[in-house]
Amino acid sequence: MRLPTITAAPGTPPCGPPALGDDGWVVTRHADVLAALTDSRCVVPPVADGPEGSVAWLRASVSRFSPPDRHAARQAVGVAALDALDPRELRLAAARLTERILGSSSEESVTRARRVPLLVLAERLGLADPAAAATEVSAVAAAYHPGADAAATRRADRAVAALLALSPPAPAEVTANRLGLLVQAADATAGLIDAAVRHGRAVPDGLATATLLAEVLRLDPPVRATRRVATCALNLGGQGVRAGDRLVLRFDAANRDPAVIADPDRFRADPAGMALTFGAGPRGCPGERHALALATGVVDVLRHASGTLIEGSRR
């Protein structure tokens, strides 16, 4: 089985020792990224709170951005919500919905299929109108990370308020962390689907979708980096990191580290499971199985769709 070579996306740094950049230490080697992800002295950057119902409030309430003393309890809320969902059922539901969308023969059908994981997950989490929720989640995702512009933040504030109205009754922090699952799934899972369709044209038809997704996560990850802050002086990859120094952990580079995987730019038929795209340690993504199940359901159908529809995903 001849598998393609996928070159790194523009802007992917080469693997090497941590290096100081404009935004802190750029960490690229697999061992160093893994060390930072699993070191309790490397914490997520703090975020500002805001009025309940705003995107700042949501950001400050979810486990993704929580300080260490609040992370575990908040992550447990998301884990409990995910534990009630069967990944196999999610995959089947995603496949069925994708088939219905493709059956419409619309030029936008492949684009609409990108939203399938969000629609399925919103329904399973009890939101009253999954289609409306998906639209609002997309607006929140555009301003989810700190630094969004004022217009995007205002749209996100309105979207958070709408999502709270669509959510089933629950304590505010519980609802926030359920919504956090949707926001995390919005761009990342859609990006994984896009990349799988794009790279899937170059791989043999017989390559399993699970293998295709695993290698796309490694070679063209939808999330290319994450950030940490050192709480005290530490040694990372032979470099002296000071307390307060910022770390930019580059998944896209670490996933191609030649010290870990031979011929790292080539698709593998037997993924080694070394991709760090879902994180690692206490903050590793608890929804990995669910996200992959949803993406698999969509991509399985897209891979068997007509050439016309697949070509439509290029536009």
Q: What is the mean pLDDT of residues 84-90?
A: 97
**Residue 291 pLDDT exceeds 90:** yes
Task: Taking the CA atoms of 277, 279, 280 and 286 in sequence, report the sign of the dihedral they define.
Answer: negative
Separation of alpha carbons 81 and 296, rounded Å? 20
Domains of the chain, CATH where assigned: 19-312 (1.10.630.10)
**Residue 314 pLDDT exceeds 50:** no
Supply the pLDDT for residue 315: 39
Please, are residues 42 and 242 in contact by the beta-carbon 8 Å criterion?
no
Query: What predicted TM-score, i.e. pTM, was given to this entire model?
Result: 0.92
What pLDDT digit, counting tens, does each position of 10-30 carry?
A: 999 999 999 999 999 999 999
Q: What is the mean pLDDT of residues 71-81?
A: 96
Under the banding of pLDDT at 50, 70 and 90, the label for residue 212 is very high
Q: What is the mean pLDDT of residues 157-179?
A: 97
What pLDDT digit, counting tens, does each position of 108-137 carry?
A: 677 889 999 999 999 999 999 999 999 999
What pLDDT digit, counting tens, does each position of 57-66 carry?
A: 999 999 999 9
Supply the pLDDT for residue 239: 97
Measure the CA dihedral 180/132/56/24, to 10°. Answer: 60
Please, are residues 25 and 248 in contact by the beta-carbon 8 Å criterion?
yes
**Residue 311 pLDDT exceeds 80:** no
According to the 3-state scheme, what is the secondary structure of the chain?
Answer: CCCCECCCCCCCCCCCCCEEECCEEEECCHHHHHHHHHCCCEECCCCCCCCCCCHHHHHHHCHHHCCHHHHHHHHHHHHHHHHCCCHHHHHHHHHHHHHHHHCCCCCCHHHHHCCHHHHHHHHHCCCCCHHHHHHHHHHHHCCCCCCCCHHHHHHHHHHHHHHHHHCCCCCHHHHHHHHHHHHHHHHHHHHHHHHHHHHHCCCCCCCCHHHHHHHHHHHCCCCCEEEEEECCCEEECCEEECCCCEEEEEHHHHCCCCCCCCCCCECCCCCCCCCCCCCCHHHCCCCHHHHHHHHHHHHHHHHCCCHHHHHHCCC
| Mean model confidence pLDDT for the chain | 92
Supply the pLDDT for residue 105: 57
